Structure 1
Amino acid sequence: MATVVGRADGAAVGRPPRIASTLAVGLVVLLASLLSAPRASAHASLVASDPSPGARLESAPTRLELRFSEPLAARLSRAQLVDASGRPLATSMFVEGRRIVVEPRSPMPRGGYRLDWSTVSTVDGHTLAGSVGFGVRAPPLGSSGALAVGGPFDLGGLAGLLGRVLLYVGLVGFAGPLFVAVLLGARKPSQWLVPDVLGADGTFDGRTLARRRAAFDGVHALFGLAAVAGALAVALADATRAAGTFDPAAIFDFLLANRAGLGRFAAALALALAVLAPARRQGLRAGAALVAIVALAAAGHAASAQPQALAITALSLHVAAGCAWLGGILAIALTWWSLLRRAGDHRTRLLPAVLEPFGLVALPAFVLVVAAGTVNAVIALGSPKDLLDTAWGRVLLLKIEFVGFVALLSALHALRWRRRIAGAGAPARLVRRHWRVVRAQPWLVPPVLVASALLTGFALPPRQVAATLASADPFGCRGCPPRAPLPGELAVADHAGPVLVAAWVRPERGGRAAFELRLRQLRGEAFAPRPRVPGAERLRSCGPGCWQGLLTAPSEELEVTLARRGQRVGVARLPLAVAPHSADRARRLLTRAERRMRKLAAVREDETLTSGVGRPVVTRYALVAPDRLAFRFSQGGGGVVIGARQWRVLPDGRVESSPYVGRFRSASWFRWTAYARYAWLLRGDRRYLRIALFDPGTPIWYRLAIERRRGLVRAVRMIAPGHYMTQTFYAFDQPTRIVPPPPTP
């Protein structure tokens, strides 16, 4: 049994050395983990595919293969082959180690296809999803290889978030008083909350104390049941989301066959043990609660962080210390709330009997919360600016603010007012202010717990998002698709001479914009010289041909000037202004414009194509519905296509006739929606709406100008590696006659 020493004022508290030694052990473990922590692999990322993204195949494949960086969980890995209309095709899918193999059950006709895939990390339970686009004798569909990141509903949806709130409320209310009781040497939580010394001096009668203890014991048990229910709800919600549907076999596979599920399941079992263990087995109950905390840490974000051991240890200490600190505050409020609202000697007796002993635990626990929390923040955040630039960082900042409020009120209570009001003659105004502060602290605990639940609901914190994207888009990888844009990012491109300039732009507060540039030459190699970006600050390299910076003033355009050895290569100008809620609006406008263009009876087009080197090629087209096309090159020559027949006019005037592959349809000339994997509505003017499109798998970028009045496409800017094209459409529905050219004499 724990040794209890008496204070001069009669308060029963445990030996302070137990508290000091416990905290010292925690800090030593934290430092030891920092020195010896190994690096951990985070997720099974897609490293290769057959066919490769953007491939155009001449024959239909009979076997499709995706290769990943780590072994996969068979029941939690999925792949679906879809055609250009989004219709799923019948396939057979199986998992072989690190590979997903998909075999079409029937021959694939000519057209564009996309192989959508998703896997679940066996380390932390988070989902990776992406797609590989390819074509069979046709242009490929779009691809992406993005991590499924968005917001606090990423893991388990709303059910998962509510389960986490219930889990944290129950954990703080149950484990917190337990930890304080162990550290103070009390037999159970109600023993330090309602100490015998309150009855020894006649302040309370024995029956009143017994009622308060019994009431708290009941509330404490309810908190424990809430923690168990929350842990089970989180495990089930995460397992169902990982399985993709309510599939019992896949759910059990998640919970029992990998670390992510085992951690969640073990936490629920440990909490159940803590709740069901006899009240006299105080050490067992507290130990089981601590095991649950460690299990949750080892199955969450910390499990895929680097260094792994430090992240898990710091998170475990942060949560355990937070439970002791916040749980103690909550327990005192629940036990003595009615008394805290009344003046008199009864309330004053709580200072030496309850509040001062709790302070021996609360202050060191708060220090440990801050120390371990700082370590967690450094591990999770890529840079301090991610606190404001990312949704995860802003939620963390909100949590820090609420914790700061609780700490400020605790400091005022413990360091400034408590001793002054303990003696006789304390000003009545000071006494009222002190007890008002004590009553206010518990109301700040729920927002802290909700913020914690929101943080753990994100798929990944900022640093791990960046690391996963970097592994999916390695520098110097020729032929690798560019990365998919993050939520809230705009992806646009232009060319500076022969160099492709791709930009990912993220608007920030105050009109600022953070950007990332990727510079690639004609053969895919990086363009190394430093670019000049007017108005940019903190321009720094993020790898070969990669630059990151910040535009500090509002701007409609990002201007990038490239030079090599003092010689100017070119200037790229990229639009920045995006309309609100642009993605859905852009797709609706694009679909409407494409449909309108396909209904035209006739149209003319001027096209300029260049690689950035030498003279551009100018081609003039005329189209007449339903199946006629004529074109003429600026260098001479041209041709005519009518239905299933084509005629080529050579520069010397000779005419060659041959069958056309398939049958030409003028409506098929307008196919922009196939590349609208990502879409944005840019800021236009009074005459034109402007839309930006991006397909990472091809890769290709489009910018379209659409007439507001008629909904017709007037201009298109296309950027692809080595192909920079501008199209202008005019003469809509004007009478046009296309006939075969006269044969060569």
Structure 2
Amino acid sequence: MTAATARRAVLAGLVACLFVLMPTSASAHANLVDTDPADGEVVPTAPDRLTVRFDETVVAAAAGNELLDARGRAVDAEFSADGAKLTVVPAEALGDGTYLLRWRVISADSHPVSGGTSFSVGEPSESVIPMPSVQEQREVNVLKAVAEAVRYGGVLVLAGLAVFGMLAVPVTRRDEVARVRLRRATTGAAVAACAGAVLLVPLTAWWESGEPLGSSSGLTVADPSAVAAVLVVLGAVAILGTPRLGGPALAGAGVGAVLGSLTVVGHTRSYGPAWLVLPADLLHVASAAVWAGGLVGLLVVLASRPRARDAARMVARFSSVAVGAVALLAVGALVLYWRISGSFQGLWQTGYGRLVLVKVLVTALVVVLGAWNRHRLVGAVESSGDARRTLRRILAAEAGALGVVVAVTSVLVSVSPRSASLAEAGERTGGPAGPGAVLAVLVLGCALGAATFRLLPSFRKDLS
């Protein structure tokens, strides 16, 4: 077995372990506050409505909500969610006996939450069926994690390659091979991003409802996953169509759209304040995109064997950009973990925290490899062919490690960031982000992307 084959086998094994160890039960992001009637309560008269209250806004899932009698027979009832309260209105007055209420709602960050309670009218029934358990669909969970990884990787590389492509114009203008290869890599990333985002639309609906693959899921075009898919597709069209449709500002707006799609769903929708968490999330993914896309871009350009002078200048420029990207990435990550996790001890007490630690350790490995590149290889690239070959190998290792980071991230989005005890003790200052806050961040991201791309030509003049 060659060294390259061994590295690929190790990387594949790490990713496979992440998928195998992924939680298969619904992760509770909206926490139950109380129910009326309370669990186990015996009420003298039949209530005309039942309520279940949570600590954040919820939406009733397309499936998984039902009211059962003591024998397990369904009782006709209407389920509706208003804010943080789920209301159940029986179609007819309930008779004496015990009833089981099962619910499945979608929290503000699009994660499903399931639970159940029982109560009795008049007096408890002599025999009562056990509370039906929720059968999570492992196939849906695994496919959703794969689609998340494809979308995250595609979006980050697509946005990063768009930035790198603008910086590399002086080189690609002289080198037709590098230009064509960079264009193909950008197109491939766009296809991956769009495919992952579009596949997540039905997969998310099945995941939220708890239904198996291919079933009716009650999906609507207003679902966050559908909105995110539209943003990715429009952003990809803007980036790939820039040479024909417009100038750098259009590509910048497209970058803002594809990166903004990652803020439409996820943990940042649930934890506030929105004015801090959403921009921090956008900063986090933008920095990661510049770093990841730049690594891929450098590999593509160096593989085309450009002039030694061009290669040296591109490597030096990206090395400087990567330092800033890593610094901003760290700032965004610290802010997000502080607001989302709720406690430092969550790093080792929760599955979410342990995955964050894995992500930090792998990222630190990439930083160490990058620092070694900067201090040992960058200066020698122009004069040494061996340095260029070594640099390509190190860049490939960095890109592979970042692939593991993307895989971890795809699992993190489906894991509850707080245990039940930490969730009770923590705060959600500012409350979940509403549609207005998300829209404002999307507009801000597109505007900043357009402005940045208008300024990029002035930053690349020294490469000419």
Whether these two folds match at TM > 0.5 is yes
Give me the whole-angstrom Cα distance separating, in 2, the residues matched to 1:361 and 1:250: 45
CA separation of 1:248/1:433 partners in 2, compared to 1, >3 Å: closer, same or farther? closer
How far is 1:48 from its partner? 4.6
Confirm or deny: 8 A CA contact 2:281 2:336 kept in the other structure. Answer: yes
1:250 corresponds, among 194, 210, 218, to 218
Give me the whole-angstrom Cα distance separating, in 1, the residues matched to 2:184 and 2:33: 54
Give me the whole-angstrom Cα distance separating, in 1, the residues matched to 2:418 and 2:60: 28
How far is 1:88 from its partner? 3.8
Verify: 1:282 aligned to 2:248, yes or no.
yes
CA separation of 1:222/1:114 partners in 2, compared to 1, >3 Å: closer, same or farther? same
1:451 corresponds, among 383, 403, 408, to 408
CA separation of 1:49/1:84 partners in 2, compared to 1, >3 Å: closer, same or farther? same
Q: Which residue of 2 aligns with 1:508?
A: none
Secondary structure at the aligned position of 2:74 is classed as coil
Matches within 5 A, 1:89-100: 89-95=74-80, 97=82, 98-100=85-87
Confirm or deny: 8 A CA contact 1:173 1:330 kept in the other structure. Answer: yes
CA separation of 1:410/1:129 partners in 2, compared to 1, >3 Å: closer, same or farther? same
Confirm or deny: 8 A CA contact 1:131 1:143 kept in the other structure. Answer: no
Q: Which residue of 2 aligns with 1:271?
A: 235
How far is 1:181 from its partner? 3.8
Q: Which residue of 1 aligns with 2:357?
A: 397
Secondary structure at the aligned position of 1:286 is classed as helix
CA separation of 1:409/1:193 partners in 2, compared to 1, >3 Å: closer, same or farther? farther
Matches within 5 A, 1:282-301: 282-301=248-267
Verify: 1:381 aligned to 2:345, yes or no.
no
Secondary structure at the aligned position of 1:133 is classed as strand
The structure in which a higher percent of residues are helix is 2
Confirm or deny: 8 A CA contact 1:298 1:312 kept in the other structure. Answer: no
1:352 corresponds, among 303, 307, 312, to 312
Confirm or deny: 8 A CA contact 2:173 2:179 kept in the other structure. Answer: no
1:211 corresponds, among 171, 177, 195, to 177
CA separation of 1:284/1:74 partners in 2, compared to 1, >3 Å: closer, same or farther? same
CA separation of 1:265/1:347 partners in 2, compared to 1, >3 Å: closer, same or farther? closer
Q: How many residues align?
A: 389
How far is 1:467 from its partner? 6.2
Confirm or deny: 8 A CA contact 2:67 2:77 kept in the other structure. Answer: no
Give me the whole-angstrom Cα distance separating, in 2, the residues matched to 1:120 and 1:80: 15
Structure whose CA Rg is larger: 1
2:172 corresponds, among 187, 194, 198, to 194
Give me the whole-angstrom Cα distance separating, in 1, the residues matched to 2:233 and 2:388: 45
User: RCO (CA 8 Å, sep 6+): is it higher in 1 or 2?
Assistant: 2
Verify: 1:437 aligned to 2:394, yes or no.
yes
Give me the whole-angstrom Cα distance separating, in 2, the residues matched to 1:449 and 1:96: 34
**Letter in structure 1 aligned against 2:112:** T
What per-residue deviation string (whole Å, max 9, x for no partner) do you get for residues 246-293 of structure 1? Answer: 6768201xx41x6x4565244334334335533353321232221232
Q: Which residue of 2 aligns with 1:222?
A: 188
What per-residue deviation string (whole Å, max 9, x for no partner) do you get for residues 581-619 of structure 1? Answer: xxxxxxxxxxxxxxxxxxxxxxxxxxxxxxxxxxxxxxx
What per-residue deviation string (whole Å, max 9, x for no partner) do you get for residues 45-70 of structure 1? Answer: 555544321112456x3744114356
Verify: 1:82 aligned to 2:42, yes or no.
no
**Letter in structure 1 aligned against 2:157:** G
CA separation of 1:51/1:143 partners in 2, compared to 1, >3 Å: closer, same or farther? farther
Give me the whole-angstrom Cα distance separating, in 1, the residues matched to 2:346 and 2:53: 29
Matches within 5 A, 1:519-530: none
Confirm or deny: 8 A CA contact 1:47 1:68 kept in the other structure. Answer: yes
CA separation of 1:159/1:50 partners in 2, compared to 1, >3 Å: closer, same or farther? same
Q: Which residue of 1 aligns with 2:42?
A: 56
2:120 corresponds, among 135, 142, 151, to 135
Give me the whole-angstrom Cα distance separating, in 2, the residues matched to 1:221 and 1:379: 36
**Letter in structure 2 aligned against 1:159:** L
Q: Which residue of 1 aligns with 2:372?
A: 412
Give me the whole-angstrom Cα distance separating, in 1, the residues matched to 2:170 and 2:292: 16
How far is 1:470 from its partner? 5.5
Confirm or deny: 8 A CA contact 2:140 2:206 kept in the other structure. Answer: yes
Q: Identity of counterpart residues, as a percentage?
A: 22
Verify: 1:325 aligned to 2:286, yes or no.
no
Secondary structure at the aligned position of 1:250 is classed as coil
Give me the whole-angstrom Cα distance separating, in 2, the residues matched to 1:109 and 1:471: 40
Q: Which residue of 2 aligns with 1:167?
A: 151
The CA RMSD over aligned residues, in Å, is 3.7
Secondary structure at the aligned position of 2:110 is classed as coil
Give me the whole-angstrom Cα distance separating, in 2, the residues matched to 1:129 and 1:93: 17
Give me the whole-angstrom Cα distance separating, in 1, the residues matched to 2:139 and 2:337: 20
Which TM-score applies when normalising by structure 2?
Answer: 0.72
**Letter in structure 2 aligned against 1:90:** V
Verify: 1:304 aligned to 2:270, yes or no.
yes
Confirm or deny: 8 A CA contact 1:81 1:89 kept in the other structure. Answer: yes
Greater mean alpha carbon deviation, residues 230-239 or residues 99-108: 99-108
**Letter in structure 2 aligned against 1:461:** P
Give me the whole-angstrom Cα distance separating, in 1, the residues matched to 2:368 and 2:78: 58
How far is 1:166 from its partner? 0.8
Confirm or deny: 8 A CA contact 2:160 2:294 kept in the other structure. Answer: yes
Q: Which residue of 2 aligns with 1:530?
A: none
**Letter in structure 1 aligned against 2:148:** R
What per-residue deviation string (whole Å, max 9, x for no partner) do you get for residues 355-388 of structure 1? Answer: 1222232221121111211222222223333222
Give me the whole-angstrom Cα distance separating, in 2, the residues matched to 1:434 and 1:332: 10
Confirm or deny: 8 A CA contact 1:181 1:192 kept in the other structure. Answer: no
CA separation of 1:390/1:106 partners in 2, compared to 1, >3 Å: closer, same or farther? same
Verify: 1:362 aligned to 2:362, yes or no.
no
Matches within 5 A, 1:256-655: 256=222, 260-261=224-225, 263-275=227-239, 277-279=241-243, 281-337=247-303, 339=305, 348-420=308-380, 422=382, 434=391, 436-458=393-415, 460-462=416-418, 466=421, 468-469=423-424
Which TM-score applies when normalising by structure 1?
Answer: 0.46
Give me the whole-angstrom Cα distance separating, in 1, the residues matched to 2:155 and 2:340: 23
